[in-house]
Structure 1
Amino acid sequence: MLLESMKNNKNKLKFAIIGFGNMGKIHYKTIEKNGICDIPEIVDINPDASKGYENLNIHEDFTLFLDNHIENLDGAIISTPSSLHLEHALPFLDNKIPLLIEKPLTSSHDFNQEIIEVAEKNEVLVKCGLIELYNPIVQELSSKKFENLKFVHFKRHSPKTSNSRNLENIVLDLTIHDISILYKVFKPKDIEILGVDLICENNVAESSQVLLKVDDSFTVFISSSRQDQEKTRKLEIIDENATYECDLKNKYYEIKQKGEISSFDSKSITESNILNKVDMLDKPETAEIQLESFIKSILDNDTDTNHLEIVKNTHNLAYKILNS
């Protein structure tokens, strides 16, 4: 209700977007649609970033922008290349400006730790663009109590990307989303890496297959690829009582349970199954939910330590996988 009431408020939140590439433009469109924020300030050193957005005032000098605008900001979104995230995040953290940082948090484990430590020390909100954490299906599953889990399968595949896009290796680009879901839904205490297979092109991992053992109890298989023919975002969960087949892209899941087995005669049997489908009637873009969560935390003066713990654990496991 508070977010809805603010849409008619003349005192709108003031945000900055640092980096106006593909993700920066997505964040801009989400903010524009939201209605709670003013038109954000944009910072990008590339003069071509303004093409198609000539109505925006795009700053090319990051330091000069900070000198002139940082005191007026309610929050900032960092969507520059991950190698620049630490450099761009620290001035905001030092000034206690809430941040939403695109994934991965930074380009290295040590840089991740530095951002997290500064955020905790300064008691400032930091969220990371692990966007599946805001998927309504993931949020619903996180409230379920599974009985004696057997195994969990993730499949996150995409077609080959344009050569013009300089993406992270597959683990920090796609696998990291499913690791975050693992921590959100199942809240593991201990994860053992049983096996990792990476397929590389031009020295960059484009596909990965990862096998994990969780809490010495159930196994998790994560298949990630940018070498498929279609975009797939699937999750399968099997416990003692049911199979959950989840379509994260289309935001629904099916619960399958065994029914009765009947025998008509000595030569034939029939087996019935119970199928329940859970579909989200309201399917907003996950980026919109992520932005609303960021705004709500700012308005509530909430540093969201639970989210930061998931971010920390997710990145730690991702780097362990890469180094295994």
Structure 2
Amino acid sequence: MKNIRLGVVGVGSMGERHCRVLQALRGVELVGVYDQCMERALEVAARYETAPFPSLEALAAEVDAVTIATPTPTHAEIALELIERGVAVLIEKPMATSVMEAMAIWEASRRRGIPVQVGHIERFNPVYTELKTILESIRPIGLTFRRLSPYAVSNQDADVILDLMVHDLDLAIDLIGASPARIRPIGRPVFSDAIDYAILMMEFPRGEVATLFASRVTEQKIRAIEVTAVEAYIEADLLNKGITIYRYTIPTFTNDRQPVKYRQEGWMERIGIPMAEPLAMELQHFVDCVRSGKTPIVSALDGLRAIQLAERIRLLLYNSPTPALQPDRIAAPVGASP
């Protein structure tokens, strides 16, 4: 089997994680890295026994595919250049900063026949894949998504909608199998001039309701999905890798010798989750798609849909006359970027 030649563009904390995983994947040759900071490129290349490249063009000439882990505002320009050069790309989320940019990437991918995968990593979380299997026989009534993080570790080149909520926008569309018919967002800035805390209510065409909480002002890190259905209530902890199902039932037990009845009002199931690193699963899937030419599970079209929904939310929030959107700016926690 021929090795897929891969490069990494942008070797900050996420890009370095890509290097670590790609170096260990079978059938992959980590050809090199490119970063605008040559000192950082040299450091990471030495650590993972690969080559630092002086330019994007030089790296593109030597690889079959590239993962892009640069700041969000640069995603579209880099992705479009690589696609035009015939290089498959995996773009870290968010795919782009606007619908126009995301549309350009999708159209270039379709026109050139080049695989493009978007880094919505939760799609490869074993908890999420198990939850999807469970929901094959259960129709949700309501879903609640909670994605909370401290400000200091957030991606501060995007607001909380593009930084955190975009993950759950993608998951909600994937789980329901449709885009929402109506949305009602509420949000406010806290530590920055952008939205740092947001709540979103979504109603879907078949009646399902989803509530999304996204915060980068919360010291506890939480990644959770809760599903309410007629048959059960399900808690999925994406961070700590667990699923609990609470099923409703009222069986009655009668003792033939005595007139005593026992009632059991429900039971709880804890689902075993296979151990797997989501990033390794995501990158392996990307490599397989590059090798086979198949469309990735999280395609450019999926990334575009998430950005379209995020832009609808942001337009409603930033154009709102609500005074809460213009509060006095609160000082960011010590150690956080302004």
Could you tell me whether the CA contact under 8 Å between 2:66 and 2:90 is conserved in 1? yes
Tell me the residue number matched to 1:31: 22
Q: TM-score, normalised by structure 1?
A: 0.86
Tell me the residue number matched to 1:205: 195
> For the structure 1 residues 287 and 26, does the alpha-carbon distance in structure 2 shift closer, same or farther, using more than 3 Å as the test?
same
- Picking from 62, 66, 73, the partner of 1:76 is 66
Percent of aligned pairs with the same amino acid: 20
Distance in 1 (alpha carbons) for counterparts of 2:67 and 2:298: 20
Distance in 1 (alpha carbons) for counterparts of 2:96 and 2:119: 11
- Map Cα deviations across residues 72-114 of structure 1 (whole Å, 9 max, x no partner): 3110111111211122112221122111011111122211111
- Picking from 45, 68, 75, the partner of 2:36 is 45
Tell me the residue number matched to 2:271: 278
Distance in 2 (alpha carbons) for counterparts of 1:74 and 1:239: 45
Is structure 2 residue 302 aligned with structure 1 residue 310? yes
Distance in 1 (alpha carbons) for counterparts of 2:7 and 2:298: 25
> For the structure 1 residues 97 and 53, does the alpha-carbon distance in structure 2 shift closer, same or farther, using more than 3 Å as the test?
closer
> For the structure 1 residues 232 and 71, does the alpha-carbon distance in structure 2 shift closer, same or farther, using more than 3 Å as the test?
same
> For the structure 1 residues 306 and 70, does the alpha-carbon distance in structure 2 shift closer, same or farther, using more than 3 Å as the test?
closer
Could you tell me whether the CA contact under 8 Å between 2:33 and 2:41 is conserved in 1? no
Offset of 1:263 from its aligned partner?
11
1:4-153 matches, cutoff 5 A: 11-50=2-41, 52-53=43-44, 55=46, 56-62=50-56, 66=57, 68-143=58-133, 144-145=135-136, 147-153=138-144
Q: Secondary structure at the match of 2:77?
A: helix
Offset of 1:203 from its aligned partner?
0.2
Q: TM-score, normalised by structure 2?
A: 0.83
Unaligned runs of 5+ in 1: 1-5
- Picking from 237, 244, 250, the partner of 1:260 is 250
Q: Secondary structure at the match of 1:105?
A: coil
Is structure 2 residue 150 aligned with structure 1 residue 159? yes
Tell me the residue number matched to 1:289: 281
Distance in 2 (alpha carbons) for counterparts of 1:161 and 1:171: 16
Name the amino acid aligned to 2:284: E
Name the amino acid aligned to 2:53: H
- Picking from 218, 222, 242, the partner of 2:212 is 222
Could you tell me whether the CA contact under 8 Å between 2:109 and 2:300 is conserved in 1? no
Report the number of matched residues.
306
| Greater mean deviation of Cα atoms: 134-143 or 19-28 | 134-143
- Picking from 215, 224, 239, the partner of 1:249 is 239
Distance in 1 (alpha carbons) for counterparts of 2:311 and 2:295: 25
> For the structure 1 residues 127 and 306, does the alpha-carbon distance in structure 2 shift closer, same or farther, using more than 3 Å as the test?
closer
Distance in 2 (alpha carbons) for counterparts of 1:162 and 1:176: 17
| Greater mean deviation of Cα atoms: 184-193 or 208-217 | 184-193
Q: Secondary structure at the match of 2:269?
A: strand
| Greater mean deviation of Cα atoms: 50-59 or 145-154 | 50-59
- Map Cα deviations across residues 117-145 of structure 1 (whole Å, 9 max, x no partner): 11111111000111111112222333433
Tell me the residue number matched to 1:320: 312
> For the structure 1 residues 189 and 227, does the alpha-carbon distance in structure 2 shift closer, same or farther, using more than 3 Å as the test?
closer
Could you tell me whether the CA contact under 8 Å between 2:117 and 2:298 is conserved in 1? no
Offset of 1:18 from its aligned partner?
1.0
Distance in 1 (alpha carbons) for counterparts of 2:197 and 2:104: 29
> For the structure 1 residues 149 and 57, does the alpha-carbon distance in structure 2 shift closer, same or farther, using more than 3 Å as the test?
closer
Offset of 1:24 from its aligned partner?
0.8
Offset of 1:293 from its aligned partner?
0.5
> For the structure 1 residues 102 and 189, does the alpha-carbon distance in structure 2 shift closer, same or farther, using more than 3 Å as the test?
closer
Offset of 1:35 from its aligned partner?
3.5
Q: Secondary structure at the match of 2:44?
A: coil
- Map Cα deviations across residues 258-292 of structure 1 (whole Å, 9 max, x no partner): 2327699xxxx965321111121x32211000001
